[in-house]
Amino acid sequence: MDARRFVFLHFEKAAAGIFLAWLFLGAGQLAAPPAGVGESARLSEQVSQIDAHMSVARVELPPVADYAREFRRQLDPPERAAPAFPDWCCHRRPNLVVEVPRKPGPIPSAHEPPTGLKVIASHGKVALSWEHATGNEHVRVSRYEVWRASGGGAFEKLAELSPEAKAYEDRSVTPRSKYSYRIVDHVEVSPDDAGGREITPPDRPELEIEASCETPRDVLLTLVEATSADPVLGVAAKAQLQVWTWDAVKGVFGAPKNVWSVTLGDKIQGTDAVLASVSRTKMAGREVGTVSVRWPDGTIDELGENVLPHELPRPRTGR
């Protein structure tokens, strides 16, 4: 039968068949996804793989010691091999800078000795004075100690003083003696200004400063008159001397009660000194007598007539 005649006679069936064929082809097209949709899915899968690798390949940082101030580590390239990524993926890890906060450690302390020790010897006493150290850090003085050595011997402690002390007076000295003094400061850690942090104690909790002196004699001599030797008359050289003795109670030299006549070479009464020489010389048109006195330690004192040592009070002059 002719096809056109068949379609004409069975038009309804032909139209239904064409519609079913078209519907079948359209459904097949709808069931197959477009090429772009598949490519997008593939890219999403690759991105997931890259992200997973970056997470796994992250290197654990080693523990850092407390004393390290900074720790810098560059992670490029990665320590683990990367899988085969597509060309569009540039697998380059950025620099990773790790700032490690330093755990506050102990604060170092500083300790310096006292300064400016002055030792002034006078009759019957030695006066000491000093200044507090200015370079101490995170320490405070707990006490001062005064030590003394006599004549080059061993040091012995005389006293303990408060942290505020800056002076001391030693009244247990003997005349014409050499003394060495030490001022020792003892310190302890002062946590008040450390903000709760630990403070390293100083290497030496005590430091000292030292000075020496020599005490004067407790006897003074003054020359009243000097008489030269006269071989013709057979008169030996003599001197009229006064002996002044220190009064420790009153703190002055007591006035002499006698004038002693001493011949050249003899010992002077009340002392261990010896009259070593006697002479008279002209000064400013008049004769002036002078003598020299030798003490047991070998020192020589020169005395002039009516000349008072500075330790003695000046005589009062009235109108």
65 and 142 co-located in one domain? no
Residue 238 has pLDDT above 80, yes or no: yes
In a domain, 250, yes or no: yes
200 and 130 co-located in one domain? yes
What's residue 52's pLDDT?
A: 72
Considering only residues 210 and 43, tell me which one the structure prediction assigns the higher pLDDT.
210
In a domain, 6, yes or no: no
Inter-residue contact 312 to 242 (CB < 8 Å): no
C-alpha R_g of the chain: 55
Instruction: Read off φ and ψ for residue 159, nearest 5 degrees.
Output: -160, 160
Q: Which residue has the tokens 């002719």?
A: 2
In a domain, 157, yes or no: yes
| CA quadruple 166, 171, 176, 178: dihedral, nearest 10 | -40
Q: Is 307 exposed, middle or buried (0-12, 13-18, 19+ CB in 10 A)?
A: exposed
4-8, 88-92, 121-125, range with the lowest pLDDT: 88-92
Inter-residue contact 242 to 222 (CB < 8 Å): yes
- pLDDT mean over 252-272: 89
33-37, 76-80, 148-152, 193-197, range with the lowest pLDDT: 76-80
What's residue 78's pLDDT?
A: 45
**pTM of the model as a whole:** 0.58
C-alpha 198 chain-centroid distance: 17
Reported as a pLDDT band with limits 50, 70 and 90, residue 166 is very high
Among residues 165, 189, 214, which one ends one of the domains? 214
CA distances for 262 relative to 61, 202, 259, angstroms: 99, 63, 10
What's residue 68's pLDDT?
A: 45
Reported as a pLDDT band with limits 50, 70 and 90, residue 88 is low
In a domain, 271, yes or no: yes
- pLDDT mean over 165-194: 90
Q: How far apart are CA 273 and CA 292, in angstroms?
A: 10
In a domain, 14, yes or no: no
What average pLDDT is seen over the chain? 78
Among residues 214, 231, 266, which one ends one of the domains? 214
Range of the structural domain that residue 64 is part of? 35-98
In a domain, 15, yes or no: no
Reported as a pLDDT band with limits 50, 70 and 90, residue 37 is low
CA distances for 156 relative to 74, 182, 183, angstroms: 65, 10, 12
